[in-house]
Amino acid sequence: MNDNQSITRNVKDFFKYRYDNYLSLSSETSSLRSINFGNTAVSHSMQTDSQQRIYLRIMDAQKIIKSVDDAIESCRNDTEHPYKKILTLRYIQHRSTVYVISQLSFEKTFYYRNLLPNTLIEFANKFLVKQLVNGVENIIDLTVSTAVKSIV
């Protein structure tokens, strides 16, 4: 498998297996009580440490979802490169591939061989940068041969 195939597989796997988990986790902050991180006492209870870890996971999930949104928003979206449209329809709105192709002025073969791989590669690169910009602690690098594991 070449690098571009690895990247496209990583992005597809991210949206198929991980994106909804991050989305679900990131939406839970409205129900959280504030955690006092200013407590400098040496003796922490295991429950407090656990709560802090969960809170930090939720905060990181929020940053990851923001990074996904920012990356999609920054992808090209012109007639020749409808990358934002493809990502939004297919991976955010969960539209079928048949529906996505019907919304584009490209043949099915061109979509699979050129357009979709280029879309996913552009997303992977922009997603990596947006995570750095948004301060994600556990960076998910979809551009490597084996996607790096993260917190969720």
Helix (H) or strand (E) holding 70: helix 46-74
Residue with tokens 């043949």: 107
pLDDT for 151 equals: 44
Distance of CA 96 to the CA centre of its chain: 19
Average pLDDT estimate for 126-133: 98
Across the chain, what does the average pLDDT equal? 88
What six digits make up the tokens of 54? 């969960």
Q: How confident is the model at residue 32 (pLDDT cuts 50, 70, 90)?
A: low
Q: What percent of the chain has pLDDT over 90?
A: 73
**pTM of the full structure:** 0.84
| SS3 category, 82 | coil
Question: Which whole number is the average pLDDT over 10-16?
Answer: 97
Q: State mean pLDDT over 81-89.
A: 98
Query: Could you tell me if 75 and 122 are in contact, meaning their C-beta atoms sit under 8 angstroms apart?
Result: yes
Look up tokens 């002025």; give the residue: 105
Say if residues 36 and 127 touch (Cβ distance below 8 Å): no
- Nearest-5° angle of CA 128, CA 92, CA 26? 65
- Going by pLDDT thresholds of 50, 70 and 90, the confidence category of residue 8 is very high
Residue 40 has pLDDT above 70, yes or no: no
> Rounded to whole angstroms, what are the CA distances from 12 to 8, 51, 74, 134?
6, 32, 19, 22
Identify which of 136, 151, 141 has the alpha carbon closest to the alpha carbon of residue 25. Answer: 151
Q: Identify the pLDDT of residue 53.
A: 87
What percentage of the chain reaches a pLDDT higher than 70?
Answer: 82
